[in-house]
Chain A
């Protein structure tokens, strides 16, 4: 027990065993941190080149999770839950593909494409329809929280008329940078009974008839698999980062405190500035994991 306490003191508190500077802040330890960071960066680049674009996009977003979170928000407001609609999901997927293809970040395309065209072309006849967009978020809950924080998106999510929803999470290059787009399409069928019937019939029809846009179905499935693979890496990496920043700040604070208390004079950087720097980067990390919505 005493050995453990002594080790912790050695790592965090300036004392004679560490030449009166927290061991975690010695140059050898700082070099190890840099080497680890470089190895992780190289590892991620290697995975990217060997596994295609699976790790090329830092996201942990899945349509299933988005539906759950959307319905949770609606339930909390006393509204009915939305049903997952395959046609709306196809419309959302087409919209995302169109955005990448024509390189725009807007509800309306450069050639005048509207969200409603994608919905109608997927075979969904709507009475009410809506669309929310998001890009470059890391987590599903971040997307839904950002939409809920924006009055217009919130109104869309909590509109009582909607009964169906479809999501697409697509990766591609937008404005020259790797981007993860989330498209959320809402709808209320024009003829509820017919739509419900069509929906029930949709899956066997798609499975039986290869002409009914079969490419979209496997494509959506691949994206979902990609997201599952990412789940294990990015949240863990983010947590490791935050723990590392916290430990570094703690070591700097303790070193700063004891150096002031013991009137230590050292040739070293300014701990106060290191603390401000790491704290600002930590706040920045929280901003970075949030994307933008439209």
Chain B
């Protein structure tokens, strides 16, 4: 219950940011579905999504006045780890 309230509070604080992220997630999955089997396009889509995730993180924390190098590093480390792991599957 407390968790839901926490999520609601987060969404209410910056509804645009979260809606934007969810929309991009949906478009990411749709794009991968449409371009199934086109490895280069698939990789570009994944790269664009990872870049968006990092940029979203920086933008959101700037808006919230909570930007810190540690925060940027967190997004970059998670984003690039996943990018490299998935790259092996898409374009070995």
Interface residues of A (CB under 8 A from B): 25, 27, 30-31, 33-34, 36-38, 40-41, 44, 48, 55-58, 135-138, 176-179, 234, 237-238, 241, 244-245, 248, 256-257, 260-261, 267-270, 272-274, 276-278, 280-281, 283-285, 287-292
Contact = CB atoms under 8 A, between A and B. Distances in A.
B36 A292 contact: yes
A1 to B, nearest CB: 29
Given A27-B77, A37-B85, A284-B46, A276 B92 contact: no
Given A27-B73, A260-B6, A273-B21, A285 B38 contact: no
A285 to B, nearest CB: 6
A108 B66 CA distance: 58
Given A34-B81, A283-B29, A241 B86 contact: yes
Contacts of A287: 29, 32-33, 36
B57 A269 contact: yes
Contact of B53 (A41, A48, A267, A277): A277
Given A260-B2, A276-B22, A291-B37, A33 B70 contact: no
A280 B81 contact: no
Contacts of A257: 3
Contacts of B90: 58, 288
B88 A280 contact: no
A38 B37 contact: no
A177 B56 contact: no
Top 6 A-B residue pairs of the complex, sorted by shortest distance between their CB atoms: A292-B37, A260-B6, A37-B84, A30-B77, A291-B37, A136-B37
A30 B29 contact: no
Nearest to B30: A287
B71 A268 contact: yes
A137 B90 CA distance: 10
Given A138-B89, A178-B91, A268 B32 contact: no
A226 B86 CA distance: 22
B29 A55 contact: no
Given A284-B32, A288-B90, A244 B70 contact: no
Interface in B61-91: 61, 66, 68, 70-71, 73-75, 77-82, 84-91
